[in-house]
Each structure stands twice: as structure tokens, then as C-alpha cells.
Amino acid sequence: MATAFANARVLVDDGFWDDVAVLVEDGAVVAIVDADDTRLRDADVRDLGGDYLLPGFIDCQVNGGGDVLFNDAPTVETIRRIGAAHRAFGTTGFLPTLISDDADVMRAAIAAVDAAIAEGVPGVLGIHLEGPYLAPARKGVHDATKFRVPDARGIDLVSSLRNGRTVLTVAPERVPAEAIRELTQRGVIVCAGHTAASYEETRAALDAGLRGFTHLFNAMSPLTSREPGVVGAALEDASSWCGAIVDGFHVHPASLRVALAAKRRGRMFLVTDAMPPVGGASDAFTLGGIRAVCRDGRCETPDGVLAGSALDMMSAVRNTVATLGVDVAEAARMASTYPADFLRLARHGRIAAGARATLVVADRELRVRDVVG
């Protein structure tokens, strides 16, 4: 029997539709029909009481959650716990993210993601390798002793995932354009981040296949009057994608509003950069031997360096509406449709016939009521 989600404000590509029902069967959206369609007679109808029905959120940068960090234990069980923690906040698809580490840890993380997808662990869409091919000058909380320049073995390793998508964050000044081109040809989605690259170096990487920018503005050379830097290249380029952490700590809202005005619609998406406290019981964690604490939503080391975030995706959507002046429909797309497009996942991130039925029910205050799929 099909399930019908009725009496909801349904987000589709051109905005919210009322007086419709979404028919779901076998994990897929069958059709969006009028509220009085005869097919509803044979369906299990769920009355959502006027709540929002949104596509499930997709988070391309999830370091941890549920009191576990992917780097600490790159296993299927860790991935399962992280996914369960974030699902409570509307995330139905995610990339477990490995912060710069040694090759054996990277290998274990890739194997764990492959196994998690093969086992059907809910929500796992691939892996994000944030490093280790980064710049010490913009290391952030990463351990610079783990940084290196990719060689042939490194390229083989980061291209070895069999299931799902691989996102790799690099510093373009430390990774030759030829390597970016080869990685792209092997199906890796290459992004710039933790980089002190010049505008020219970034532009050369874009020409070689660089697809996006990891947490725009953070840990990258800024836009100035005479040196556009990585940020300038990101905002100028029409085809690239930018992830953004909208938590009120990583980037000033005015800077994000400028970025939204500069980028083509649909090319900015939300990420959390989440750490273990999201969906967990503890406000502290250890990263590379350094203790970090989250207070009032801000995660930092004892010397004040930001250490990821305590942000969940539904909070990111609310913040985008409240601080950036973005309407609910567009903020929800920034958490679902646009990251799906960035990852080239045609059946994710939308409510449409043939799409996967991964759905979020949210009330008018944008609080999660239910997660489907």
C-alpha cells in the first residue's frame, strides 16, 4: 500500500504547493496529486496538519555526532552513530568527513564508508576527505604534521571508494593542476579549502576541474582590493559551488549575504562541519590530542581556534532564514536540493515523481516533527 502525505506545505522546485498530497511507495515518490485525488482512497493517508514537507537534508561535511568523531574510530558503527544523531535534525544523507590524517586512517575510513553503503546504513552517500593536501598557513584546527603533497599512491588512495561519492578538499597551491585533473577524471569531486592560494592559482585549479569550495571564507585567502584570493575566485566563478557554515561564529552574516548576492542561485549550500556534541551528551571532545569544548554553540580549542561546529542542519536552515533574509523555501533547498546537485545525485534532494522518498516534516518554527526514508 502507498503512503500519502497530505495536508502539508510541500516544497517542490518552484516553491510550496498546498492542497496536494505526496504519494510514496517502496521508498520513492510516485506522484504529487491533488488533495482529492481518487488514489488517496487506497493509500495510508498521513495528515500533516499544515506542517512543511521538505526534501531530506544532505550534509557534505560531517566530522562527528552522537559523541563520536570519525577520525577516532573510522568504522561502520561510528558512521551509523553519526548518521542517527544527525537524522534527528532532518539530515537523511551525509558524507562522513575525515580530517587530515595518516594514509592508514584514510584507508580505514574509505573501507568503512564502502562497507556502510553496502550494508545499507541509512543516509551514507560517500566520504569527504578534508585533507591531508592542505596548506600549513591556513591549517585551522588540522594537525599540520599530517599534511603532505599527493603522489601517485595518494591519488590512487583517494580515488579508491567503490560506492558513493568522494569529495576531496585540497589547497590548490600544494596540488598540481595535473593531479586535480586526474582526480576529477577518476570521479573525485575536488574542492578548495584550508588554502593560502592566490587568485591565479585558484583560477588554474578551477580550469583543471576544481568543483567547489569548502566552508567559504573560513581557512582561505580573503578577497581584498588588489588580491582577490580564493574567496574572490569563488565568488566570481559562475559554475563552482560553495559550502557555508551558517552558525553565527564561522562567518559574519553580512559576508554570507554578499556571497549569496554574488553567486548564481543554487550554487551555495549549507554544511554543518559538525563535531561529536551534535546529538550527543557531552559538550567536549578531543581532536588530534587537543581538547575542544562547545559553549553556547561555539566549539573551540583552549587557544580560541574554532574546532568545527555544534551546528545541526535544521538549525542551519533556521539561521539562514533569520540572519540572511532567505525565505524558507530557498533555505531548505540550500540544505537539500543544492548539495544533491553538487554531488550529482539526481534522485535526491527533491520532492518529485521518481525521487527518493527522503523527507522532513517540520513545523512553522522549522522544528523537525518527523523524518521519513
| Cα 14 to Cα 102: distance, rounded to the nearest angstrom | 45
| Contact of 123 with 165, CB cutoff 8 Å | no
Whether the pLDDT of residue 178 is over 90: the answer is: yes
Beta bridge partners of 218: none
d(CA 171, CA 279): 31
Distance CA 361, CA 77 (A): 27
**Average per-residue pLDDT for the chain:** 97
| Topology adopted by domain 57-342 | TIM Barrel (3.20.20)
Segment 16-47, tens digit of pLDDT: 999 999 999 999 999 999 999 999 999 999 99
Distance in angstroms (rounded) separating the CA atoms of residues 122 and 351: 19
Model pLDDT, residue 352: 97
Residue 275 confidence (pLDDT) = 97
Q: 202 near 233, Cβ under 8 Å?
A: yes
- pLDDT for the residue 1: 86
CA distances from 8 to 16, 18, 91, 241, 317 (A): 9, 6, 20, 31, 19
DSSP-assigned beta bridge partners for residue 64: 69
* Domain assignments of the chain as residue spans, ordered by start: 3-54+354-372, 57-342
- Cβ-contact 166, 127 below 8 angstroms: yes
Pairing of strands 64-65, 290-295: unpaired
CATH class of 3-54+354-372: mainly beta
Which residues participate in catalysis according to the annotation? Answer: 273
Question: CB count, 10 Å around CB of 79?
Answer: 28
| Residue 288 pLDDT grade (very low, low, confident, very high; cuts 50, 70, 90) | confident
Residue spans of alpha helices (H) in the chain: 76-87, 103-119, 152-158, 177-185, 199-208, 229-236, 253-262, 313-324, 328-335, 337-342
What is the per-residue pLDDT for 280? Answer: 97
pTM for the model stands at 0.97
Q: Per residue in 97-145, pLDDT tens?
A: 999 999 999 999 999 999 999 999 999 999 999 999 999 999 999 999 9
Counts of helices then strands in the chain (DSSP H, E): 10, 22
Give 159's pLDDT tier (boundaries 50, 70, 90): very high
Distance of CA 288 to the CA centre of its chain: 23
Residue range 288-310: mean pLDDT, rounded: 93
Helix, strand, coil distribution of the chain in percent, nearest 5: 30, 30, 40
List pLDDT tens digits, range 47-61.
Answer: 999 999 999 999 999
